[in-house]
Amino acid sequence: MLERIADELRSNGFAPRVVEFANSPSPCHAIIFDIEVPVGRHKDKMLTLALSFQDGAYPEYPPHFVYFKSSVDSGKFTTHFILQFEGVTWFAYSLPPNDFWDTLEASQKNMNTYVKRHLYRILAEL
Amino acid sequence: MSFEAALPETLAEKAETHLLRQYRQNVQQEDLCFALWRPSTGASRTTGIVTELILPSHGDRNLHGNASFESHYLARAARRACQTNSGVAFMHSHPSPGWQAMSNVDIVAERDRIAPPARAARLPLLGMTIGTDGVWSARFWSWNGREYACSLCDKVRVVGRGIQLYISPHYTPFVRSARLRRTVDTWGSDCQAVLAALRIGVVGLGSVGAIIAETLGRIGTTNLLLIDADRVKEHNLDRLLYAAATDIGRFKVDMVANRLRSSASATTFRVDPKRAWIQEGDAYEAALDCDVLFSAVDRPLPKDLLNNIAYVHCIPVVSGGIRVATKPNGRLADATWSVVSAGPGARCLRCDGQYTSSEVVMERDGSLDDPTYVGRSSIPAQNNENVFPFASNLGSLMVLEMLRAILREQWWPPKPTRLHYSYLMNRLTTQIATCQPSCSVTARTGIGDHWTYPFLDAPVDRGERPRSRIRRLWSKFRKWFQK
């Protein structure tokens, strides 16, 4: 499953790596990658993000925790928890694509849709 | 281990049209076809779910009063079964009505001619016979190391707009008793026999679930499964049927099961309380032994699991929920409750908007319970306001929905996918809707064990023995003595 997610991100021009967030409240696998903010206050800035996944759940169940390497939030979102990983502080926000994921065709439930329809709108609000 | 067979209604109708075509034109001619089936394994029952018909083409079978098939037709069915990880099912019609016994010719055909090549699919042969009145009977032929042994099915259920249950004469028959006289007079002994043969699961034994269990016990059901790991708390006492102050701390399932044993109307009555959440492996397996499930839970994850069971394992689920809106001054603004029946041919709970997949993953890792988060998200906060009359009305409506599916006749209007009651408007409305074309839950209809729910938990031992009457009396006496 994680390889599939990583492949989907690679095919969209990202360089993901799979890690294990062992010390998060519920230990899980995560995928870390850099993303350039396309619009908003942080336009053109490069951010490092992580997405965590429940085993065996993707793509039917989307990722909902988005981790930022530093607290860049303008106050619109609530930090769910803070995590130390590789000597860096990660801020976890629970931001599921609740409004559209279940309406997608099975073939559209992929990281391309997740990034373009969901992640970019979150980045625009930061 | 008991055995059953299940068919989605659309598939059953197609098979029936093919197999009984000649009889319906008053021609005494049997017919046959092959099909594919998938296993659905519960704690004590294996169900063969028929998923695909392989109808004969020209030259595949010969009709001569009886019917026979050519070996290339069987080979085609076995090949298709291997390709799709399914088992082979063989269906044929008989010239008489009712549950069908096997003739010697039938036994030789299924055991000696079809079962050996069908074993290539690594699943037993499912043999099915249909009588002229559309009643299905079924059995499995499996290799026991020495021979192909026959395991007769207790029941065959057809699930769709209604629930049709065909019961083996060997299965515990319905016993008419004076207690159930008025009930049987209302809908007849055939319907009562179906009710008595159903194994029904109630998931969630809160205010609504307890009403459902009580109602089912009163109408003469004989076999109930109750699933809930919650205990009675003081704030439950205003709504929870049977609950008294002395029950605080007891498992809800134990309390309800004990009371049901004395209030149930059936001559033989069995109730299995399961102190577990439905997503725990043993409770999930026990639920797969049921013919109908009631969802009286309000959390997204158990709703999602039950929704999947309804389609993947062809076990209809009747789901209900209450939403109470209060004004800032604490007074009641409105209360609404709705009933949705999920299962093959019906709209699924997720497409109905009862939960989303995002809420399921959030519940899984605990963020759904964070009030600071929920208050700021697009996901509405769970509210637990409720009163006994709301819960009893909803519980009653849910049982009526199940009864409607069982009593249903062809001329009845289409079954609504949702009943919605508004207390403020004093209005019950119905809605007929279908799933979104992209629905992944309905796409899994009938695949049974080939799909595993990703969020199943290991069983948890909550092995506390239920308190006996003597222990409760002793406890009361000690409290009184200490005072």
- The arithmetic mean of pLDDT across residues B96-116, rounded, is 95
A103 contacts on B by Cβ (under 8 Å): 436, 438
Instruction: Using CB atoms, pick whichever of A57, A77, A104 lies closest to residue B361.
Output: A57
Smallest Cβ–Cβ distance between B367 and the set A54, A80, A101 belongs to: A80
Sign of CA dihedral B429, B434, B439, B440: positive
pTM of the prediction? 0.91
Residues 6+ apart with CB under 8 A from A45: A36, A37
Q: Which residue of B has its CA nearest to A105?
A: B438
Helix axes B388-407, B207-218, angle to 10 degrees: 50
From B88's Cα to the closest Cα of chain A, the distance in A is 29
Write down the pLDDT at residue B376: 42
Q: Is the pLDDT of residue B382 over 60?
A: no
Task: Provide the percentage of residues in chain B whose pLDDT is more than 70.
Answer: 95
With contact defined as beta carbons under 8 Å apart, do B251 and B462 qualify? yes
Q: What is the pLDDT of residues B400-427, one digit of tens each?
A: 999 999 998 888 887 778 899 999 999 9
A61–B370 C-beta distance less than 8 A: no
Partner-chain residue, chosen from B357, B376, B452, that has the shortest CB–CB distance to A101? B357
Q: Does A80 touch chain B (CB under 8 A)?
A: yes
Alpha carbons B386 and B381: distance in angstroms, whole number: 15
Mutate: best of A64, A79, A108, partner B, most B CBs <10 A: A64
What pLDDT digit, counting tens, does each position of B186-229 carry? 999 999 999 999 999 999 999 999 999 999 999 999 999 999 99
Does B350 contact A102 at a Cβ distance shorter than 8 Å?
yes
| pLDDT, chain A, mean | 86
Least CB-CB distance to B365: which of A26, A60, A62? A26
* pLDDT, position B377: 46
Where residue B373 falls among pLDDT bands split at 50, 70, 90? very low
Q: How far apart are CA B395 and CA A117, in angstroms?
A: 41
Residues 6+ apart with CB under 8 A from B207: B236, B239, B240, B241, B386, B388, B391, B395
Average pLDDT over residues B29-41: 97
Average pLDDT, chain B: 92
User: What's the pLDDT tens digit per position in B176-186?
Assistant: 889 999 999 99
Q: How far apart are CA A51 and CA B247, in angstroms?
A: 45
Residue A45's pLDDT is 87
What pLDDT score was predicted for residue B466? 56
Report whether A23 contacts A13 (CB < 8 A): no
Segment A53-73 mean pLDDT: 83
Q: What is the mean pLDDT of residues B269-297?
A: 96
Task: List the single residue in B367, B440, B454 with the smallest CB-CB distance to A94.
Answer: B367
pLDDT given for residue A14 in this prediction: 92
Across the range B453-469, mean pLDDT stands at 80
| Residue B148 confidence (pLDDT) | 95
Choose the closest CB to B373 out of A63, A78, A101.
A78
Name the 3-class secondary structure at B127: strand
Query: Using the beta-carbon criterion (under 8 Å), do B359 and A63 form an inter-chain contact?
Result: no
B104-116 average pLDDT score: 95
Confirm if B148 and B142 have CB atoms less than 8 A apart.
yes
- Of the residues B349, B360, B367, B439, the best mutation for testing chain A's interface (the one with the most A CB atoms within 10 Å of its CB) is B367
Whether residue A54 and residue B364 make contact (CB cut-off 8 A), yes or no, is yes
Specify the pLDDT at position A28.
Answer: 81
Three-state DSSP class for A74? Answer: coil
Instruction: List the single residue in B350, B361, B372 with the smallest CB-CB distance to A96.
Output: B361
**Residue appearing with tokens 């026979």:** B68
Give the C-alpha separation, B276 to B267, whole Å.
28
Question: CA angle B185-B190-B193, nearest 5°?
Answer: 100
pLDDT band at A54 (very low <50, low <70, confident <90, very high): confident
Give residue ranges of B with CB < 8 Å to any A CB: 350-351, 356-362, 364-367, 370, 372-373, 376-379, 436-438, 440, 443, 452, 454-455
Which chain A residues are closer than 8 Å to B367 by Cβ? 64-65, 80, 94
pLDDT tens digit sequence for B125-161: 999 999 999 999 999 999 999 999 999 999 999 999 8
User: What pLDDT is stored for residue B74 in this prediction?
Assistant: 96
Contact B455 A63 (CB under 8 A): no
Given an 8 Å threshold on Cβ–Cβ distance, is B360 in contact with A26? Answer: no
CA B187 to chain A, closest CA, distance in angstroms equals 41
Q: Name which residue leads in pLDDT, A3 or B483.
A: A3
Q: For B449-480, b where at least 16 C-beta lie within 10 A, e where not — what string?
A: beeebbbbbeeeeeeeeebeeeeeeeeeeeee
Q: How many CB pairs under 8 A join A and B?
A: 79
> In B, which residues are within 8 Å of A26 by CB distance?
364-366
For residue B387 the two structure tokens come to 């009163």
Lowest mean pLDDT among A14-28, B38-52, B229-243: A14-28
Contacts of B377 in chain A (CB under 8 A): 94, 98
Distances (CA, A) of B190 to A100, A116, B25, B319, B400: 46, 57, 27, 26, 17
Q: Can you read off the two tokens belonging to residue B36? A: 């594919």
What pLDDT score does B375 carry?
A: 40
Whether chain B has a CB inside 8 Å of the CB on A44: the answer is no
Closest Cβ–Cβ partner in A28, A61, A65 for B357: A61
Q: Determine, for residues A63 and B361 on separate chains, whether the beta-carbon distance falls below 8 Å.
A: yes
pLDDT score recorded for residue B374: 42
